[in-house]
Structure 1
């Protein structure tokens, strides 16, 4: 797959308004930007996430596309979306991969998403 350069960046955010410490419910949103720095269009076909709680428990999520879409991303374009994860611990880690399709060759390829930390801010009482 020479010439295909896809960059994925993630910005997580703690959702204090949706979280509840006494119920062990910690909600995080994360905004993902997929940048196509390739000369060809690509289509985001599937996602895989591994979510590791602070307790060490893991959950895997697989599915078609992202947020109900399988976006086509043209050369030099980017696609941005926001989703969320609900943890039972105030800290965790997410990592994963996207399966994309090179529309010029109809070949699928994978882009790894580096681990990123989900952490609620420490609150003093």
Structure 2
């Protein structure tokens, strides 16, 4: 839970990954660069997402919700997913920067 007095802001985000290719893929890992409103950067990386390494069929999608905690009411996230195709060949999906903001902060 967020606590502005303790400089703790909790954000939830939902990601949908759509496989627009012709073969199944698997998400193996993630990397996030989280930047707070003062420019302080935190790197987060690990296997899978929310404890899973999902297989996403051709034409299918995978959705998950997770969270981030930063010290300011405004920040950003960006990163990438480490994936493999049906033949085991690795590739990366870039995640463009998106904003974390307390809803009442920005009109």
Root-mean-square deviation over aligned CA pairs: 0.9
Measured in 1, the distance between the counterparts of 2:104 and 2:12 equals 17
Which of the pair has the greater relative contact order for Cα pairs under 8 Å at 6+ separation? 2
Q: CA deviation at 1:106?
A: 1.1
Using the size of structure 2 for normalisation, the TM-score is 0.95
Aligned partner of 1:68 among 51, 75, 95: 51
1:40 correspondence with 2:23: yes
- Give 1:109's aligned residue: 91
Measured in 1, the distance between the counterparts of 2:10 and 2:23 equals 36
- Give 2:39's aligned residue: 56
3-state SS in 1 of match to 2:103: coil
Could you list the structure 1 runs, at least 4 aligned residues long, displaced by more than 2 angstroms after superposition: none
Q: CA deviation at 1:83?
A: 0.3
Unpaired stretches in structure 1, ≥5 consecutive residues: 1-17
Q: CA deviation at 1:30?
A: 0.3
Query: May I ask how many residue pairs the two structures share in their alignment?
Result: 105
